[in-house]
């Protein structure tokens, strides 16, 4: 089994079923899950001209006038995607500095 460590995540490819095993450590707790060949769905939130835009894998999802509303919408979509078996993460991207904050869903 091959194993790679990237930041705080450890990735291993299990040969029998060719599925990714992902182990994430947060606050001393380790959580493991599998994902199919499809990569994690990215729900991005970017603020421009006081409008918060949510995209799902780069496609338009919605515009919101408050950051909280955009985060709530992205979280709801992430939960919906997870119910259907997809891995999802919510990120807030600062358009000026390109800093990325990952929101726990």
- In 3D space, the residue among 45, 97, 41 whose CA is nearest the CA of residue 66 turns out to be 45
Tens digits of residue pLDDT in 86-97: 889 999 999 889
Tell me what the mean pLDDT of segment 49-54 comes to. 95
pTM reported for the whole predicted model: 0.62
* Range 39-68 burial, b when 16+ CB lie within 10 A, else e: eebebbbebeeeebbbbbeeeebeebeeee
**What per-residue confidence (pLDDT) applies to 35?**
47
- Mean pLDDT computed over every residue of the chain: 76
Sheet holding 100-103, edge to edge: 59-64, 51-56, 41-48, 88-93, 100-103
């Amino acid at each position: 089994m091959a194993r790679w460590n990237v930041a705080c995540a450890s990735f291993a490819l299990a040969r029998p079923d060719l599925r990714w095993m992902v182990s994430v450590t947060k606050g001393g707790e380790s959580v493991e899950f599998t994902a199919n060949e499809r990569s994690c769905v990215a729900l991005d939130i970017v603020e421009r001209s006081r409008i918060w835009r949510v995209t799902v894998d780069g496609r338009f999802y919605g515009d919101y006038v408050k950051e909280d509303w955009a985060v709530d919408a992205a979280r709801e979509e992430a939960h919906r995607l997870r119910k259907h078996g997809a891995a999802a993460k919510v990120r807030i991207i600062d358009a000026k500095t390109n800093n990325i904050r990952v929101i726990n869903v």
